[in-house]
Amino acid sequence: MNLGDFKMKKSIIVIILVSILLNLLPVKAYADGGPEISSEAAILMNMNTGDILYQKNADEKLSPASTTKILTAMIVIEKCKLDDVVTVGKIPLYEDGSNIALNVGEKLTVKDLLYAMMLESANDAASALAEHISGSKENFSKLMNEKAKSLGCKASNFVNPNGLYDDNHYTTASDLAIITKKAMENEVFRKIVSTVTYEIPPTNKQPKPRKLYNRNKLLSYPGYKYDGITGVKNGYTEKSKNSLVASASRGSMNLISVILKAEHSSVYKDSKALLDYGFNNFQCEKVLSMDTAICNLNVGNINIPIYPTKDFYITSSKNDKSVVYKKLVFEDDIKKINKDMNIGYVEITTKYGGKEIIPLTPQKEYSSVLYTLKYMGHSTYKKVLSPAVKALIIIAVSFLVLAITLLILSYYKKCRKRKQA
């Protein structure tokens, strides 16, 4: 699209582009019907967009059990280096539930403890990591709540790093999906939660290696394995019942499912039903690409490609046609165009009211001379490059060439006369 010549005033320039796209789904809306879920709470999210494809009691406060460790792992990865050495204190010895039998004074890397926590759901590993970072589980819990709040979680409170039951330790399916979406953006986290087996080498307190197995049955267990599964974490306590956060990818579609307070026989069944529902009924489409110009600005007869600063996806339903509106807005007071500057933004609005604002950039620098001419006024610029001026320049150059030619010929004639003389 060529925007032609424009003036960058205080009043912004708005161009409305209407793109007809198939099957747009709004945020927090889902197709009629949906899967039958017996668990107390559930949610299905498009990981690329954050769109909610299905929800059941998604805002009910429930105990997350060991899915708590998703948040714990995210904080640990942000705060520590994988090869940092952790010296186990006394607290992990008294942890209930799953553990890898850590010893007081045992030295392990952060990496080994992360794998123990996320694969074997080791509560002692979670506590050792929390103590290493914050000095105590209580102080680490403050970090957890701060992080959850910063991500937009609205109904969560964490009092320990492992998910052992406590009346004051709770979250919602919606908040847990938000936490997981952020965690899955990290490559280290993704690698850990997709690992089936891992071995911790011998330590100063343990002469034999520890073999770890991922308890998320969707990854590898016969009869449970799910096509496209990429993680994440299961959990269980007697009071919390079963919980499972799962992620799966097929093509460009990346999903997160959350199941809370499920009976043992239904937690995997419900997770599969959610993921199947997502893959069978929806697809993910890229509306904007960082590598594709959204338009060209014509400044002084020079076309400048303008790009979005990030890729943008939408969730599409197979049974619905919708409209996406792209509104391009360009700011004033642009003296020079640099490759990283925000020259304006694109505002994407869906038929259902969803909205996203994405900055625009030229991705390269352009000559300052061009913009000096432009800001002298377009009429001046046109005058400089007018046909009459071009003709005068051509004539002047022609005369110059002719004069030089005549001088050269005159010089050769004089040289010949001297030789003849």
Question: Which member of 121, 247, 271, 317 is catalytic?
Answer: 121
Question: Which member of 39, 56, 63, 69 is catalytic?
Answer: 69
Strand 52-56, strand 355-361: pairing: unpaired
What is the per-residue pLDDT for 371?
Answer: 45
Question: Which member of 66, 127, 174, 243 is catalytic?
Answer: 66
Active site residue 247: no
Residues of the chain with pLDDT under 50: 1-31, 368-386
18 vs 109: CA distance, rounded Å? 54
Active site residue 150: no
Q: Please report the beta strands in 63-191, taking only residues with DSSP state E, as ranges in sequence order.
A: 85-87, 107-109
Per-residue model confidence as pLDDT tens digits over 125-147 = 999 999 999 999 999 999 999 99
306 and 361 in contact (C-beta within 8 Å)?
Answer: yes
What is the per-residue pLDDT for 107?
Answer: 97
Per-residue model confidence as pLDDT tens digits over 51-85 = 899 999 999 999 999 999 999 999 999 999 999 99
Active site residue 66: yes
What is the per-residue pLDDT for 369?
Answer: 41
Task: Tell me how crowded residue 421 is: count the other CB atoms within 10 A of its CB.
Answer: 5
Helix (H) / strand (E) containing 116? helix 110-119
What is the per-residue pLDDT for 153?
Answer: 96
